[in-house]
Chains A and B, each alone.
Chain A
Amino acid sequence: ETGVTQSPTHLIKTRGQQVTLRCSSQSGHNTVSWYQQALGQGPQFIFQYYREEENGRGNFPPRFSGLQFPNYSSELNVNALELDDSALYLCASSSVSGPGNTIYFGEGSWLTVV
């Protein structure tokens, strides 16, 4: 049990639609990151939020956006869904305390785009 919860666990969307995925981070963690894991790949970094501001982004287009709320929970929004967006989306939370800090993951949200 990592204390990081994600919803929904599975969902199916149609190409062109929009999706919102949610994450509740572990208590006391002020940093949340999102990762995409496509089939056969390791998780790929999408972006990170710290104190409600995006402070780093991976190689993902602007239609991937996010929010972090005052309670440090977070949303990942994807607009204009494409078939290649089908993947497992993982949320990770941590406290900003140096190289030795553990980063905890949720179970993920499986997105299928048809």
Chain B
Amino acid sequence: ILNVEQSPQSLHVQEGDSTNFTCSFPSSNFYALHWYRWETAKSPEALFVMTLNGDEKKKGRISATLNTKEGYSYLYIKGSQPEDSATYLCAFRKNSGGSNYKLTFGKGTLLTVNP
């Protein structure tokens, strides 16, 4: 059973604060790591797909890093805005031959940004 852990479970910050959360995943048989942003009643929005150790990706004020050797990824949000309030999910894909399509999700980090 693959274990994907996200921390913290929830986070409250003030508008303008910068914040970060962690996704831990198995350090062996790495294929890809996905980050999603999920607002209530909407579809999960794909933020990043990370494939190489040391990858850093950026989309506006949101960025992510990847360490496959130690099995973790960080998601950073700079200058949080109320519209950043959402659940942030990471999902691990294991390199298992023909079945590397499966996403194993963490439980998510619920971010609330107070105005």
Q: Which residues of A contact B (CB under 8 A)?
A: 2, 4, 31, 33, 35, 40-45, 48, 55-56, 58, 90, 92, 94, 96, 99-108
> Which B-chain residue is minimally distant from A45 (CB atoms)?
B102
Contacts A45-B104, A56-B101 given; indicate if A105 touches B44 (C-beta within 8 A): yes
> Which A-chain residue is minimally distant from B46 (CB atoms)?
A102
Contacts A42-B106, A107-B41, A108-B43 given; indicate if A102 touches B101 (C-beta within 8 A): no
B59: interface (CB < 8 Å): no
The answer to whether B100 and A99 touch across the interface, beta carbons within 8 angstroms, is yes
The answer to whether B101 and A40 touch across the interface, beta carbons within 8 angstroms, is no
Q: Which residues of A contact B91 (CB under 8 A)?
A: 42-43
The answer to whether A103 and B103 touch across the interface, beta carbons within 8 angstroms, is yes
Task: Give Cα distance in the complex from A103 to B91, angstroms.
Answer: 11
Task: Give Cα distance in the complex from A68 to B113, angstroms.
Answer: 40
The answer to whether B42 and A100 touch across the interface, beta carbons within 8 angstroms, is no
The answer to whether B32 and A106 touch across the interface, beta carbons within 8 angstroms, is no
Task: Give Cα distance in the complex from A42 to B5, angstroms.
Answer: 10
* In-complex Cβ contact of B89 among A42, A96, A104 (8 A): A42
Task: Give Cα distance in the complex from A37 to B51, angstroms.
Answer: 25
* In-complex Cβ contact of A33 among B41, B42, B101 (8 A): B101
B4: interface (CB < 8 Å): yes
Q: Which residues of B contact A103 (CB under 8 A)?
A: 34, 46, 103
14 A-B residue pairings within 8 Å (CB atoms): A2-B46, A4-B43, A31-B101, A33-B101, A40-B107, A42-B105, A43-B105, A45-B104, A48-B101, A99-B93, A101-B49, A102-B34, A105-B43, A107-B42
Task: Give Cα distance in the complex from A42 to B99, angstroms.
Answer: 20
B31: interface (CB < 8 Å): yes
Q: Which residues of B contact A107 (CB under 8 A)?
A: 41-43
The answer to whether A99 and B107 touch across the interface, beta carbons within 8 angstroms, is no
The answer to whether B101 and A42 touch across the interface, beta carbons within 8 angstroms, is no
Interface members, chain B 75-115 (any A CB < 8 Å): 89, 91, 93, 98-108
